[in-house]
Structure 1
């Protein structure tokens, strides 16, 4: 663990915080802003939905594959240098997206943008650990969680405003000045890397320390449950409760709003109570929220769904702040990028599992994969089975967390 940190002025801390939060915002914005443009892309390129969907999938796939590589390069050549490189890559990718004359060039450009986003997401977390005071590390991690939720929520809204005025290319043009601003701030505000490149960074296997594995496993489970709400929720609200699309969108926005509001307070709670205790509290809230989703919406409808989300989402932010803080707390300086990358990889694996495996459980509960032909009661049965399974996963996570607390930690 680092014994000393360079003293930074209040203005320097503010500049660093703005830079890193903007980098995280860009990565999250890139994840969600293209979704709303898919119908227009299908028309613009005369392509079926399965093909235009690759515009979203390419970004997520590139981000997932690249997060650990980004962390390793950050440890090897310097976190600041590699974040600057990632911002350049993200900017170039955004420009190529905006100028793409064909769908396949757009998909290729999104791959470049996704690789850049991996550097932004991973190294922003590692640099937050490096520059934040130990007593406020939870608050710093909570702020990153808030900004990530804000970027994800802002994407569809911003895209919806831009597309009628600028067409689909506008959703990529708007990211370029933001990326250039982040690039300028990174060069001017972030502390230098010092001597890098002369000695190899720690091996990936050494970073996969036994004490880190529970954090990664729980991270996969929690991310899967949160993705389940995004995948199953719209089907239940529209087909199970019979809501119109506009109402579904409004209710689905409750989760991101609660996430934005609870991110920084969650981090502060971690600083006061400690990461181990808050991690368990967050998992308990996640378990309660999942079990409530299994029953309350079927009993009292929309109100039950919203109440369940209001319990579940703060639990997620408490968990994220505590888990990231705990995983990075005692990581040596030459491994912070790698561990941040591994954390993001485990989260992305969980998101993929939530979209596929939990979607399969929902179809099993409904009794058919053709949801539009299923009755409301069948959709409700699928909702119940899915979130009973999700609640069970959270109970497993709680057991793992308690087991990890009682075992002696190994210093990373």
Structure 2
């Protein structure tokens, strides 16, 4: 904290502490729940396909509501909506821990995701409001670090809690942290002035966008091809309806003209592409390490944890670099690192062993940390203050959509390249081939992201 701002500014220190905790909890709740799925399935005697909705319900609620939550913060006041989101999140987390049956748990997780949407959308906007403009990058890097810490901490903490106390403990342990976050935000963060358009919240646009995003998110996670096609058609129809609504209402959820801005358009596009690549490392990595390199599960987990660890360590320095050298230049450097790492994995021979996978992985994740801090700084510093809530929601939305797409589309590409529908039964040679092809595809996405960023930078000049 001291490196981010002067020690004589305790109010700013406490503000960033409160916002960091508000950013930590949603990412921790995402990753910690996955560890408890087997125990939950046993406790409720439910098939794994049904228990997966404990995770999916949370992600769906977060993805579909995050832009609306950001706009609501701009309309009613960000501190007020953030406090409401933390309260909803904390109460729903308690209900998850006390759930008497699986449908109740899934419903509580959806409500928890709604609270998390408010927290994720408004934390970044309030950080941009709180710090001096020359230190926005450092603040964004700090928030990126806390999010990465939450993601990395979840599996380890969840495993200990489930083993010692059962699956309910993974939710109950978060409740006091939610209470602390609420108290800190209420005590140290100043109120924000509501927008003059507070009585004109775009409910129709919010509903249309939620339908489109929800249909897409479910489409890429279901295994039924015909159902997936129907949902994709629904998503497209919802998106068309959303654009039509936004062009007609007086206070739109998202100003369509705003999306044409080169900085915002490039920031959202590259965020989705890079998040897709990062999720690819999480999907492909375990199969490559276990199936191709024949590592034990403990060693697989250790190697995989290097990615979030590097992101956590690189976040704050990446933000400082964005402040010092300019966010545009650091975005290019970060995307270059992602491209180098994915290109290396697309040709790395199996004989290179663990180090041959680990070094490119570290290159990808450090490049991602540089990109994320600089991209968030560029976008949040570019938009008007009264639109930061909705734009923060859009940035988080693009990241979520990238993660969902990476898990589904890149996972399907990996299985296709392996030549089997059951990758657990693939040979080491088939898995090695699939790893090369999938990271080759990821490298192409990185090239596309780099091209988008360079074109946007040229247009701004």
Partner of 2:329: 277
Partner of 1:210: 261
Using the alignment, how far apart are the partners of 2:326 and 2:194 within structure 1? 33
Does the 8 A contact of 2:307 with 2:361 survive in 1?
yes
Q: 1:308 aligns with which of 354, 360, 366?
A: 360
Q: 1:347 aligns with which of 394, 399, 404?
A: 399
User: After superposition, what is the alpha-carbon deviation per residue over 1:118-168, rounded to whole angstroms, capped at 9, x for unaligned?
Assistant: 111111011011111111110100011100000001111111121222211
Matches within 5 A, 1:256-271: 256-271=308-323
Question: Any idea what SS the aligned residue of 2:36 has?
Answer: helix
The Cα shift of 1:196 comes to 4.7
Partner of 1:252: 304
Partner of 1:138: 137
Partner of 2:454: 402
Question: Any idea what SS the aligned residue of 1:217 has?
Answer: helix
Using the alignment, how far apart are the partners of 1:167 and 1:379 within structure 2? 35
In 2 relative to 1, CA 101–297 (structure 1 residues): closer, same or farther, beyond 3 Å? Answer: farther
Gaps of 5+ in 2: 1-6, 202-250
Matches within 5 A, 1:83-232: 83-196=82-195, 199=198, 203=252, 204-205=254-255, 206-211=257-262, 212-232=264-284
TM-score, with length taken from structure 2? 0.85
Does the 8 A contact of 1:128 with 1:140 survive in 2?
yes
In 2 relative to 1, CA 338–198 (structure 1 residues): closer, same or farther, beyond 3 Å? Answer: closer
1:321 aligns with 2:373: yes
Using the alignment, how far apart are the partners of 1:101 and 1:156 within structure 2? 24
Using the alignment, how far apart are the partners of 1:340 and 1:217 within structure 2? 14
Using the alignment, how far apart are the partners of 1:96 and 1:167 within structure 2? 16
Question: Any idea what SS the aligned residue of 1:194 has?
Answer: coil
TM-score, with length taken from structure 1? 0.95
Count of matched residue pairs: 402
Using the alignment, how far apart are the partners of 1:398 and 1:236 within structure 2? 27
Using the alignment, how far apart are the partners of 1:91 and 1:297 within structure 2? 47
Partner of 1:330: 382
Does the 8 A contact of 1:296 with 1:308 survive in 2?
no
Runs of 4+ in 1 over 6 A off after TM superposition: none
In 2 relative to 1, CA 220–9 (structure 1 residues): closer, same or farther, beyond 3 Å? Answer: same
1:76 aligns with 2:75: yes
Using the alignment, how far apart are the partners of 2:419 and 2:404 within structure 1? 22
Does the 8 A contact of 2:195 with 2:386 survive in 1?
no
Partner of 1:378: 430
1:369 aligns with 2:421: yes
Gaps of 5+ in 1: 1-7
**Greater Cα shift, 182-191 or 206-215:** 206-215
Does the 8 A contact of 1:224 with 1:354 survive in 2?
yes
Using the alignment, how far apart are the partners of 2:157 and 2:427 within structure 1? 35
